[in-house]
Structure 1
Amino acid sequence: MTGSTPGEDIAAGRAATQLGERLRSLRKKKVLTITQLSLYTGLSVGFLSNMENGISSPTVANLTKVCNALNVSILDVLGEGDALHEIVRDGEAEIIDVPESSMKMKIVDFGANHRAFSVITIEPHARRVDAVAMHPYDEAVYVMRGELAVTIEERRFELSRGDSLFIQANCGHTIENDGTDVSESIWFAVR
């Protein structure tokens, strides 16, 4: 038993199918075979096929590998096209739970040219354990609660409530919470 309701299971299945369809479409636009994508990502052809068919959902680390290979941002993949949404209700935002990192990402996407932001919550003494994040766009982060350590390539920045940081495009970075309280930060894609 997963603790989810049948309605939540159906919604999760629908989301996995939509994600897979977007990934397949992006791969085909790049004129890549699934075998080539496998070589670029290090992920098996079978796993990638299952992901594109909505049979399996990728971890954040695997989704990052696929997006990097396709040279697109995760926001491009998780977005809902170019329709502008003036309001995104609390239950409508995409939630990505990363239990191995004690982290949750809430992605709020307004559509239209990828106007989006993420709220990242990290439990105390936790760090992101998956691949180093790297995006083809600039980012800005604002710490709303607790502490957040961001390492950009070899430079480490320790941020507290009210602090902000700018991260240039294509700079590898990791995040962690060395503090004793929950860290909550808001991340903006700067395009």
Structure 2
Amino acid sequence: MDADDIREMSESFVTSGESLGARLRARRKAIGKTMQQVADEASLTIGFISQIERGISTPSLASLYNVSKALDASVDMFVSRAPARSHSVVSHAGQRPTFKVDGTSRFYEFLERGFADAKLNACLSHVPPGYASDMMSHEGEDFVYLVAGFMLYEVDGATYELRAGDTLHFDSRRPHRGTNVGGETAIELWVGTMRLFPE
């Protein structure tokens, strides 16, 4: 399976119907929280929450996780089709579920969790040239192995340039983001303790 095949498959996971921002706003109002409360609990700015709700900005998957948690919800409440909840000790190339948050060109290829109470979660993230994630922080720790491309990572004020074969491991409670500063799609192998989707 080549990159074009993966991109075509990922389209089936793009959110549809009512916009992501509208769904998040509706949930926030339904539980009676202010944008400031959601921003504080998600470790994001109120301006960014406002931009998400108005469809001006799209959160990274990690930030969507934080916002969902602040809204007492799971990520799959806000997407049309979340990756299937399954467990397999083996993950085969070309057979992995892909996922994309609407409004972004970055997409994720999920790697199976080997067993039900596994602590680690992993995915291959395909990051197009020029794409920059929002500044985020969340529970746990992150390990990134750059499979292809050239990425610039910022972690708690420090910057790190990674090329194919380089790694980065950090406490993900520290503010961080990544930017593809190369001319080609970068592929990150992300392994972390944050569970994006419930069992």
Q: Whole-Å Cα distance in 2 between the matches of residues 66 and 162 of structure 1?
A: 32
1:161 corresponds to which of 154, 157, 164: 164
Identity %: 17
Deviations 1:66-103 (A, max 9, x none): 2452699969x96766x633345545524124644x42
Which of 180, 185, 188 is the equivalent residue of 2:183?
180
For the Cα contact (< 8 Å) 1:41–1:65, is it kept in 2? no
Alignment of 1:110-129 (within 5 A): 110=113, 112-114=116-118, 115-128=120-133
Larger RCO: Structure 1 or Structure 2 (Cα < 8 Å, ≥ 6 residues apart)? 2
User: Residue in 2 aligned with 1:54?
Assistant: none
Secondary structure in 1 matching 2:147: strand
Matched, 1:141 2:144: yes
Q: Which has the higher strand share?
A: 1
Q: In structure 1, what is the equivalent of residue 42 of structure 2?
A: none
**Structure 2: gaps (5+ residues):** 1-7, 17-22, 40-48, 195-199
- Answer 1 or 2: which has greater helix percent: 1
Contact 2:112 2:122 in 1 (8 A): yes
| Structure 2 residue aligned with 1:96 | 100
- For 1:67-82, what aligned pairs fall within 5 Å after superposition? 67=68, 69=70
CA RMSD of aligned residues (A): 4.3
| TM-score of the aligned structures, taking structure 2 as reference length | 0.57
Cα shift at 1:170: 0.8
**TM-score of the aligned structures, taking structure 1 as reference length:** 0.59
Change (3 A) 1:72 1:137: farther
Q: Is the 1:93–1:109 contact (alpha carbons within 8 Å) kept by the matching residues of 2?
A: no
Report the AA paired with residue 133 of structure 1. Answer: M
